[in-house]
Amino acid sequence: QVQLVESGGGLVQAGGSLRLSCAASGSIFGFNTMGWYRQAPGKQRELVATITYLFSTNYADSVKGRFTISRDNAKNTVDLQMNSLKPEDTAVYYCNVNVRYRGVYDYWGQGTQVTVSS
């Protein structure tokens, strides 16, 4: 019933930009934290950025100043604007919604590939 669908991934040259979007559907408690995570080949999944329902943001040090996360509570979407991309940003990017109400719930998208060429 709950579904997160990412879009916007692709191939880009170093220094370029991409904008990832995630649309949430289904019954998800509104007071949540949305975020983007990524997993590169041979590495563990890592947090990229999060944003609460009140728009408080948190970024990994590696992307701070380059990436911007945003959300639209009315549309149930979360975006990640990625600028000044580096080859080390290459990974599968996953949308996440975390709910802490009557339990802890994590919802994940299917992932979208971002490849940055050098």
pLDDT digits (tens, 9 = 90+) for 9-32: 999 999 999 999 999 999 899 899
Q: Report pLDDT for 1.
A: 87
Q: How far apart are CA 64 and CA 48, in angstroms?
A: 9
At 62-80, the pLDDT tens digits run 999 999 999 999 999 999 9
As beta bridge partners, residue 115 has 11
**E strands of 18-90, at which residues?**
18-25, 32-39, 46-52, 57-59, 67-72, 77-82
Q: In the structure, how many helices (H) and strands (E) does the chain have?
A: 0, 11
> How confident is the model over 41-51, as a mean pLDDT?
97
